[in-house]
Structures are given as structure tokens and as C-alpha cells.
Structure 1
Amino acid sequence: MADSDDPEPSVNISGGTSGGGVEAAFDPATADTRAEAVVDRLGERYWQKTYGGQDAFTCLVRTILSQNTSDVASQPAHDALIAKYDGDDVDLAAALAAADRDELAETISSAGLYNQKSRVIQETAEWVLEAYDSATTFDAFVKAGDPETVRETLLGITGVGPKTADCVLLFAGGRSGVFPVDTHVHRIYRRLGIAPADADHETVREVLEREIPAEKCGFGHTASIQFGRECCTARKPACLEDPEACPMADLCDQVGVYPETGEVVDPADAPEAEHS
């Protein structure tokens, strides 16, 4: 791995360097697709690592807290929830199912939408207890069950969408070939021209999981998010001011980005995307 002064942030859903997994090995010169070439370059710029090993129910709760907010806002809510409800001899699902809803909402208030999220978390905890008896048994199901069955099961939980399900599969289950699609990933790969400009989140996921080797999907996901925060931002991507400022300049179609005018639109609204 290339030396870096920018370690993976601990304030992120993957758990940072302590989130489990091992370093991934690859040769950037052997990329078979443009998508793989992008991920290889991101791996050199940020981190190369596979994921897995987190407790599945804790990861599920953490991902629910992260919905519609930033890691900076949701991480304190997660830390407060764990401090209040988790412990060595405590089953977190049982503790949350029995929690006072108002107290739970207050505990996670920094994450935003705390009334809605407290309801989803508590109902999820109740579902885990009903279906699996404990968070421990649920964790075993996520880690050992058929990936498609696990994903379909997670998607059946009220308030759990594809990104949340895929994050649990990746960060807890350690499943290779899973590339969760958040707003950054959705924007970046359509802007690059790798996914269709009008693709929804699921279509982008299908494209990436088809064109990127399974062992590269984990760090590809987290490094793409970091790239979206630092460089390929929604409103002011780095290429607007300096074409060479973006490490993906030679791989990018700049769909919806117009440096000559300074205009940036969603790729789906770009004129060249009308017949994609």
C-alpha cells in the first residue's frame, strides 16, 4: 500500500482502521475495466482494506443512525447509545427493545430525525429478538447465511434500504463483492460516465459489482466516499478550477460538469445524458 498521512477516518461507518478486515492486494496495472482502474487509484490514494468482523446488530443500528446525516453528526449518537445500552453481559437488541422510547430518542438526538430513528431502531431490535432470539444469533446469520437471503431479509425490515443492508453485509458480514451506494458513490460513478447518467442507486450498485473485482469493493466503497468529500464534491468538484487537480481526470467523462462555465448539474440533468 502506498504510504499515506491520511488514515481512514475512525468517524465512519466502517469503523476505521479498527473496523476489521485485512489489507487487500492488487496490481493497478492490470485493471480490466475503467471502474476497476478508478478503484485501484483510490486504493493507492486512500486505503486498501477488506472489511468484516463488526457485530451485525451494532452495525445495523450504526447504519440506521447514519441515514440522512453525516458521520460527524451520527457518530456521537452511536457512541452515546452504546454507552447507555450496551455492556459485556447485555444483549444490545434486548436492551433497546426494552428501552424507553423518549430516552432513546434523546440519547441519539445528535443524529437528526431522532424520533423516527428511535422508532426504527426499537422496532428492529424487537424484530431481531422475535426472529433470532438475540443479537448474537442474528450476527451468526449475517456472517454465515446466504448473502442474497441475508440481503432480502434485511430489506424486509421497515426503515432499512439497500445501502443499509449492503453496509451490514460488508462491514459485519465481510462479504466480498458488495459495494454499498450512498449519495457520494451515486454521484461519482455517474459523473465519471461509468454508470448511466440517469441510473438509480440500485443500477449503480449493479454496474460496480459487475465491473469491479469482489475483493476491491469494500475499500472501493469507503475510498469513493472520501474522494467525494475531498475532491468530487456535489457543487464544486476540484476539476472546475484546475483540470489537473482531480486524480481521475483522465478517467472521467465529467458528465454534468462544465469547467468552461463553472456550471454543475446532476448527471441525469446533463444535456448529453438525454439519450443515455
Structure 2
Amino acid sequence: MTDEEPAVNISGGTAGGGITAEFDPATADTRAEEIVDRLGELYWQKTYGGRDAFTCLVRTILSQNTSDKASQPAHDALIERYDGEGIDLAESLAGAEQSILAETIQPAGLYNQKSEIIIDTAEWVLEAFGSAAAFDEFVKDEDPAEVRETLLEVRGVGPKTADCVLLFAGGRGGVFPVDTHVHRIYRRLGIAPADADHEAVRAVLEREVPAEKCGFGHTASIQFGREYCSARKPACLEDPEACPMADLCEQVGVYPETGEVVDPAEAPEAETRG
């Protein structure tokens, strides 16, 4: 979070095409919404939408299988080398030398694979849309389902990447990207089935969380996962009351009595939940 926090939480924001949302756990219709509403009391919200779609796509590819701390320098170095005034980033990257691009994005890890995917993606954007600007219009103006389906046909673009483009570039409501944090948290909470894959978790959240709260739910859940509900040492292990979701959580796969933590899908109680 930044030091400049707004006084009021706003989900989306008019600049990004989002819809203002109010967060009151007492009025939530589902437990998933109650959790997101409680997150709304903990964290302030960014504006969603308005980012350049191709730049957002590249940024999300760089973030795959690594942390923001590692991927951000790679993104900054890529933009410094390949982007500039009057330059179409897709055209610039489509013509990039793969070895030089790989060296540029090395901090992000898997740089050889990611550099190939980025070049292929840039070539696809030019072939299918003609320019990064035209791709941006497609993402922001066309039916979200069509945009998502189109993106998923691109090598190296999975559901989370496609959803992040829809959210952060398109400003689309009702999109709840599922990364490793979201996948873990909502199965651990008992909101989604313990053995649910990423797409099944997404389906549950997009069904049970109001559309205008989904974008915030995604970013706030990531923050919550980092601060409270980490993979190996969730806050409840040391103090059951340390977690702000303690009364809403089923602790699937978390055992404070023994200090053991397992993936929810491997929890013995997951079998009895069906």
C-alpha cells in the first residue's frame, strides 16, 4: 500500500469505468461477499481499468511464477528499452532480438521462456489487430467473454492473465482473477471446495461476490494473503484471533493445535466435505 490512502474506499472508480461500492459486512448476501466487505474495512482500493491493454498483458506475463518485487524491475527495464513516444510497443517487441529481450527481463525469472512468449504475443497482436492501440480498443470495447476467449487462445496466456487484462485494462466489473493467493485463501476459508482448481474458485467468487466488488476482492485478497493468510505460516497458527477473518474461516488444512499446514485439497476434512 502507499502512504497516500484515500479517505473513502472506491471500487473501480469512474476513471477506470468501475462502479462505486459500499462495504458493509452486515448487509452481505453471501459469506464470500461478507469476506470481501471485511477486506474493504482493512484496505483501500485502487482504480481499475485505464491501463494500456498490451502493456498490461506484457506486465502480467512477466509476473507469472514470480513476485512483484522481481517482475517490476524487469517490466521497467523492458519499457525503458522498447517503449517510447511515437513507438508502438507491440511493433517494437515483435521485432526484438530474443536474446536481448531475455537479458532485459532477467530479474523476472524464466526469462528465455517469457521473452519468447512476449515476442510471439506481440506478433499475434500485430497480425490480429494491426497495433497495440487497436488491441487496447478491443479489450475495452468488446464483450468480456469474447475478449477472454480470444486471450486464452494465445500461447502463455492463462485464465489469470486474461482476467487481469480485463480488470486492469478494461475496467470490467465481475472479473475476479485467481492467483495463488486467491486460490489458497478461498479454499482455506471454505468458500470454494477444497479440491477446486483455479477456474472453479473463480466461478464461485464471480457468482457470490457482486460485480462491482470483484476487482477490489482480487487485489485485497492478495494483500490479505501476504499479511495474514500466507501459505506456510497463516496468522491463526500463533493466535486464533490474530486474523480478521477468524470467525468466518473454516481453516481447511490449518491446524493451530499442531502447527501443521497443508494444502486444503490434502486436508483430511476435505474428503468429508465432498
Partners of 1:173 and 1:139 in 2: CA distance: 8
Match status 1:86 vs 2:114: no
Matched pairs, number: 264
Partners of 2:23 and 2:230 in 1: CA distance: 28
Q: Report SS of the residue matched to 2:241.
A: helix
| Contact 2:30/2:208 (8 A) holds in 1 | yes
Equivalent of 1:26 in 7, 18, 22: 22
Partners of 1:49 and 1:231 in 2: CA distance: 20
Match status 1:236 vs 2:272: no
| Contact 2:23/2:38 (8 A) holds in 1 | no
Q: Report SS of the residue matched to 1:232.
A: coil
Q: What one-letter code is carried by the residue in structure 2 that aligns with 1:26?
A: E
Query: Following TM superposition, by how much is the alpha carbon of 1:182 offset from its aligned partner in structure 2, in angstroms?
Result: 0.3
Match status 1:194 vs 2:177: no
Report the equivalent of 2:134.
Answer: 137
Label 1:49 to 1:214 Cα distance change in 2 as closer, same or farther (>3 A).
farther
Label 1:92 to 1:70 Cα distance change in 2 as closer, same or farther (>3 A).
same
| Contact 1:55/1:172 (8 A) holds in 2 | yes
Over residues 69-124 of structure 1, what are the superposed CA-to-partner deviations in whole Å (9 max), with x where a residue is unaligned? 00000000000000110112000000000111111000000000000000000000
Q: Aligned residues: percent identity?
A: 78
| Contact 2:23/2:41 (8 A) holds in 1 | no
Structure 2, unaligned stretches of length 5 or more?
7-12
Over residues 8-44 of structure 1, what are the superposed CA-to-partner deviations in whole Å (9 max), with x where a residue is unaligned? 9xxxxxxxx9x95668331412110000010011111
Equivalent of 2:169 in 172, 176, 184: 172
Partners of 2:185 and 2:23 in 1: CA distance: 23
Say what the alpha-carbon RMSD is for the aligned residues: 1.8
Match status 1:208 vs 2:205: yes
Report the equivalent of 1:12.
Answer: none
Query: Following TM superposition, by how much is the alpha carbon of 1:220 offset from its aligned partner in structure 2, in angstroms?
Result: 0.6
Partners of 2:154 and 2:95 in 1: CA distance: 19
| Contact 1:191/1:267 (8 A) holds in 2 | yes
Report the equivalent of 1:13.
Answer: none
Match status 1:153 vs 2:158: no
Report the equivalent of 1:253.
Answer: 250
Partners of 2:255 and 2:23 in 1: CA distance: 33
Structure 1, unaligned stretches of length 5 or more?
9-16
Partners of 1:5 and 1:82 in 2: CA distance: 26
